[in-house]
Amino acid sequence: MRRMKRGIKTFLLNFFYRKLWVRISAILLPVVTVPVVVLGILLMNTSSKAVKSSVLSNYQQIAAATANEIGLFVRGPQDILNTTASLLSVNYPAPWKQETILVELALNEPVITRVSSVDLSGRELASSEMGRGLAKWDYPKEALETAAANKEYISTVKLLDNHTPIVIMAVPIKKVGSIVGALVAEVNLRGIWEIVDNIKIGQTGRGFLVSADGTLIAHQDKKRVLKNENLKAQNDVRLALSGRSEAVELLDREAGKLISAYAPIPGLGWSIVIRQQQVEAYLFSKLMMAQSWIIIILSELVAILVSILMGRALASPISALSSRIQEVSAGELDHRIKIRMRDEIGELIRSFNAMTKKLKKAKERERLSAIGEATTWITHELKNSLISIKSFVQLFPLKHKDDKFVDKFSRLVPNEINRLERMFRELSDYSYHSELRITKFNVSEVMGSILEIMKDEFTENRIEVNYSLQNNNLLIEADQERLRQVFMNLIINSINAMPGGGLLAVSLKQVNMEGLSGSAHIEVKIKDTGKGMPKIIQDKLFEPFRTTQDGGMGLGLTISRKIIEQHGGKIAVESQMDKGTAFIVRLPIEHKNSLMQGSI
């Protein structure tokens, strides 16, 4: 018997320590069940408050959405009138043109039943109703007065003889910035009645719309609207007219306990009010609340159990994958992750291994392609120049007495030699590494001296220069000669972009920038009025061996960007076809010590 007890005890202990799910269950049992019991007891006392809060919040959102819909409905005719007023300002004061626009407006927009164009004295210039004088239309005088004050006007709601609700709207008509008249319109609000009539929540939930003084504008019971019934004395209507947007519980002598949600109509002073019996409103919400709590509890239990059971199984391969990703990001592409799993995670790791293998091959091909492209470019450029020089040298013994040949020889051969020298210099600058020589100097003086030196070249190329400064003392810590090289290169690019002449705008100012070293920066902007560049060229403009000009290796902008980045700055390009190109350089005023040791 003792042996049996010991065997059972040993089995249970081994089962407990060797089976993870058993230990998890033993831990989760008190952790989960005790809070659930406590929450169940508290839920009995707090569920009613939670349900009420949820229902009131939903009703408030419905009221706000309805108010916004009504506001958009009213705003629609106002926007149409503003657009029409803009058109009339072009045709003002040609009455027949205005009348054509107004008639077309009334035909295309049924909500606008009548519209007229009047001058500041009230004289009608055109109307959507041909032959009907404005004197027969008793519109409010303040409509014209408000429009003359450069404001939009909207009247209170009125009912026509056919029980149609309307408002009078007016907007100013401007001519060259001055108000010359007004556009007065009669707008049909029957669409608002339809919006309010569509507010149906259950059997008892209904809504109504009141004006700024509490008079009914829209209601399911149209008789109350026709009687111009005023509800301002009711608590929720009074709160709504005060501009508040909320949902409250209300006790009405006739209807009993209600939920009332209200919201103001933006810019009109009107308010929408929605009411429903509390019994109906809370019934469904209570049921949904209980079901929601049950679903949440069960979901949490399942989620906890599944997370614990799957955690360790997922952690190991995911951790290995994470470490490998860090290695790949550092450039290590040789290693592979060993995996035996055949599920989705296993497939993911296999795909990652295949990706790194392809990435390694692609990187090698990219390196070889870049070398090949550079070699082809250099070979082509050198070959062209050398062939030209060789041809002239071979012909020189035969044609050295030909003055035209000698003149052509004297011009072209030095040009080709200079072209080769410029190509070699660009290649040398691109591959040369040097430390910056940081000094503190006035960058505006450097730019001024560059523009002064290039004055003859500007004149020769018919280029006008506009040089603007925030102030004359823009001090910066940088390598003066390197920045001079950058500015000179950018200005030369701008000159080459304007072969027929144009305007070169150079501006310097101090700005505060985020994301670059330091906060205070000098911004240098060099803008031309050349032919511009398409987006595809802009994206590759700073890559080596990319050029839009003849006679260069396409390394000038690449070298310039390296110099700017070595200073801790940024360079960007903005260009539009047929409008020009702007290079924007931003440099920190104070140079960091860590950057002083950099090289290009």
Beta strand extents in 237-299 (DSSP E only): 246-252, 256-264, 271-277
Tens digit of each residue's pLDDT (9 = 90 or more) over 38-77: 665 666 567 767 777 888 888 888 888 888 888 888 888 8
CA dihedral 470→473→477→481, nearest 10 degrees, is 90
The pLDDT of residue 21: 46
Contact 246, 223 (CB under 8 A): no
Joined together, the tokens standing for residue 139 give 């519109």
Point out the least confidently predicted range of 438-447, 493-502, 528-537, 587-596: 587-596
Between CA 381 and CA 376 the distance in angstroms is: 9
Tens digit of each residue's pLDDT (9 = 90 or more) over 115-131: 888 888 888 888 887 65
**Surface-to-core class of residue 337, CB atoms within 10 Å of its CB (0-12 exposed, 13-18 middle, 19+ buried):** middle
What the chain holds in terms of domains, given with CATH numbers, is: 2-46 (no CATH), 47-282 (3.30.450.20), 352-432 (1.10.287), 433-596 (3.30.565.10)
- Model confidence at 523, in pLDDT bands (50, 70, 90)? very high
- Model confidence at 466, in pLDDT bands (50, 70, 90)? very high
- pLDDT exceeds 80 at position 179: yes
Distances (CA, A) of 510 to 229, 470, 504, 572, 587: 65, 7, 20, 17, 10
C-alpha closest to that of 128 among 138, 140, 114: 114
Contact 272, 262 (CB under 8 A): yes
Tens digit of each residue's pLDDT (9 = 90 or more) over 206-259: 889 888 888 888 888 888 888 888 888 888 888 888 888 888 888 877 778 888
Cβ of 141: how many Cβ atoms within 10 Å? 9
Tens digit of each residue's pLDDT (9 = 90 or more) over 180-202: 888 888 888 888 888 888 888 88
Radius of gyration (C-alpha) of the chain in whole angstroms: 40
Instruction: State the residue for tokens 């100097």.
Output: 441
Partner residues linked to 249 by β-bridges = 259
Contact 226, 293 (CB under 8 A): no
**Surface-to-core class of residue 117, CB atoms within 10 Å of its CB (0-12 exposed, 13-18 middle, 19+ buried):** buried
- With residue 360 as reference, give the H or E element that holds it: helix 344-399
Whole-model pTM? 0.42
Average pLDDT of 438-458? 88
